[in-house]
Chain A
Amino acid sequence: MLLEVLQGTEAGGFILIQDTVKYSGRQLLKSYLNTALKREEEIVHVLGFETSEDELRDGLDKTSAQRLHFHNAYSDPLGWTANSPFTVHQFTVEDISTLLKQTPQAKAVTLVIDSLSWILRHHPPAVICQTLQALKKGGAVRTVVGLLHTDMHQRGTVGSIRHLASAHITVAPETRGMGAVAKTTRRTKSGKLMQDEQIFSINEELSVTVQSKHSHPGRSHNNTDESEVDPTANLTFNLRLSDTEREAKEKLALPFVFSKEKKSALLHPGPGSGRILYEPDANDDYDQEDPDDDLDV
């Protein structure tokens, strides 16, 4: 499922890549950039706060490099020199949409934010959430991709931003081997949730290969246990019935069983059982009215 998210099969929405200091998610982000650039008629805008343009372009597909627009906020993020191309204070819906309008119109526009952690240090989280939601809904951008260093923020802040994401990938180093583990969660438009945990590696050409599915240790144990046990193998007593024994068993009427014969015997008393004989007396006060008159019988 990691590959599906990276290839953008389900278009649109907000994809969040979460990493920690133990394993950087930037390679994964670059891999996403690369696949996005390979698609025709797609323009990618990058708001770069943490890497220079050269570093970001390094390794990316050269043929489609002109469709990548880098907005440099790395050299002067706070606008101290007064001629900064992009500052952190410009992270508003209006400023971003004017940025997007400067380039020729395309079918699909992807906005990559590298990284959200930088912006979160200069804006209140609620404002960023609103901006992201507005970008997602606005229509000018098809997909918003953000990198977030989760160990830099409070749990609630990370949770709030993750709450907005339509897909989020959490990367962590694998305990043994060279690969990394990616936990992918995707929410479809109907509200269905899909989760997956995969071990992956990224090669020099920035293509992602999924090595194996991360197996849950708890589940695999259950499967092995079941095949071994056969409790009926060596028994000191007989569990099977022979035909005569079964016949005898079926003949036996169990107590408290309300069979059909028993029921009919109770309802229709046969000959020889008792009956009530009653002859009306002259003094009898016989009520002509039907006592159940008011009932719908």
Chain B
Amino acid sequence: MAAPIRSMGKPTGDRLSCNTTSFQKRSRSKLVSIPGTRPSVQNGQLIVSTGVTSLDYVIGGGLAVGTLLLIEEDCYDSYSRMLFKYFLAEGVVCGHELYVASAQDLPDDILQELPSPILDDVASPKPVESQTKSCDPDSQDAMKIAWRYQNMPKVQMALASSSRFGHYYDVSKTMDPEIRQAAKCHGFYLPEHSSTLTSLSPSATGQSPMSEAYSSLLNHIQEVIHREGFDGSVPQTKSRNILRIGLHSLGSALWGDDLCCSDNPDNGHALTTFLYGLRALLRSSLSVAMVTMPSHLIQNRSLMTRVTRLCDTAIALESFRGSDKETIPLYKDYHGLLNVRQVPYLNCLVSDLPDNKDLAFKLKRKQFTIERLHLPPDLSETVSRVAHGGLAGAAVLGSSGCGSGTASNKHLDF
């Protein structure tokens, strides 16, 4: 097989030599360069960060511009609210425009709670520290076990891509008002908008399947997108920007929706119709949206599945607070579980799923991290390895170093 290739290659040799090489550096100048965005490694889509580096990794690099991220809230909306704020804070730091809609809190109140960005690298040298500690010459009484493997690289638990994208935030501090006010923000607070709308035309909106609250929200988003030129109506000379849309607790009773209250909601199509409209808007404009929903309150499972299908990316948070999972030793280092319900298929047939489905998250002061869930070594006397076989097998996938150790047998051999 080698010979024909060589003979084919020869006549073209002269041409190649003047061109030096066929490899070309991929130039980014062809793409629109907007701060806080970069082309995706997988499919070349323009992506933005969610504000949480490990979440970016889980959903395949970041959020593609023009797509919709659904976050199913945890029971008390504490961690999903955190993600919501991270998303908006990332927008402020990158200089994007924001659009915040809520029926619960005033958009300005939400913006005042944004976490403060850590602009110099503080979080990165951590893994190195732990590695050196493990390689230290052990004290006298320490047993030397599996010394063959001590020089092997440590398996990184936290998920993160190699290159830096997105920022870290300090949850304990709120963002400096100066930074916050530099970003342009559009707010939508339902109680303010609904009162004006009912006085205008109560009969006209009665015909559409969308409820009044949703249609006014959609109209408002559309108006902002047109007015600020995110739909491409602005001439190319003007610098372009991304609109980050954050919709808080959509589908809850405060939006006037009875999805949460009954098994067979009267206006079950209201939310799905709204999501169709929102998606169409997003696809044709330079915007990206995050929607949170209290899915634990929604009684109708099939409706939730329909909503998930309408979003591009969907993740669900399950907090351990207040559930019996809090006492399980496996979960003691974490604050909750994270389920990736759906990842988008953009310009391709397959999307890259995270290699491990068992993900857990924890909220530290300076970081929201998503990690692979793994089983700690069980040191108690009465361990039945057979019973835990399924879970242990899942953990081994993530840690290649000690795979043979767990697979051996249940007694210690001397």
Contact = CB atoms under 8 A, between A and B. Distances in A.
13 contacts: A130-B103, A130-B191, A134-B191, A156-B260, A156-B262, A157-B262, A160-B252, A160-B253, A163-B297, A185-B322, A193-B322, A231-B381, A257-B147
A159 B257 contact: no
Most buried by B among A216, A219, A256: A256
A101 interface: no
Given A156-B262, A246-B140, A126 B256 contact: yes
A256 B261 contact: no
Interface of B: 76-78, 81-82, 103-104, 140, 144, 147-148, 151, 191, 252-254, 256-258, 260-263, 294, 296-299, 321-322, 327, 381, 414
A127 B254 CA distance: 8
Given A125-B258, A156-B260, A160-B261, A256 B327 contact: no
Which of A125, A130, A246 has most B Cβ within 10 Å?
Answer: A130
Contact of A157 (B257, B261, B322): B261
Contacts of B296: 159
B195 to A, nearest CB: 11
B105 to A, nearest CB: 8
A175 to B, nearest CB: 18
A129 B254 contact: yes
Contacts of A258: 151
B261 A193 contact: no
Given A129-B253, A160-B260, 11 more contacts: A126-B257, A130-B254, A130-B256, A154-B299, A156-B261, A156-B297, A160-B252, A193-B78, A218-B327, A255-B148, A258-B151
A193 B321 contact: yes
Interface residues of A, number: 34
Contacts of A125: 253, 258, 261-262
Contacts of A133: 103-104, 254
B199 to A, nearest CB: 14
A195 interface: yes
Given A157-B261, A159-B296, A216-B327, A256 B256 contact: no
Given A130-B253, A156-B262, A195 B327 contact: no
B76 A193 contact: yes
Nearest to A185: B322
A286 interface: no
Given A193-B76, A195-B321, A163 B294 contact: yes
A237 interface: yes
A148 B82 CA distance: 30
A21 interface: no
Contacts of B321: 193, 195
A126 B253 contact: yes
B258 A126 contact: yes
A126 B267 CA distance: 12
A187 interface: yes
Contacts of A157: 261-262
A192 interface: yes
Given A133-B104, A193-B76, A159 B191 contact: no
Given A187-B76, A246-B140, A254-B147, A219 B261 contact: no
A156 B298 contact: yes
Contacts of A254: 144, 147
A156 B327 contact: no
A191 interface: yes
A255 to B, nearest CB: 8
A291 interface: no
Nearest to B261: A125
Counting chain A CB atoms within 10 Å of each CB, the highest count among B256, B257, B258 belongs to B258
A155 interface: yes
B172 to A, nearest CB: 10
A271 interface: no
B326 to A, nearest CB: 9
Interface string A124-150: 111101100110000000000000000
A156 B76 CA distance: 15
A246 to B, nearest CB: 7
A229 interface: yes
Best-surrounded residue of B147, B258, B260 (most CB of chain A within 10 A): B260
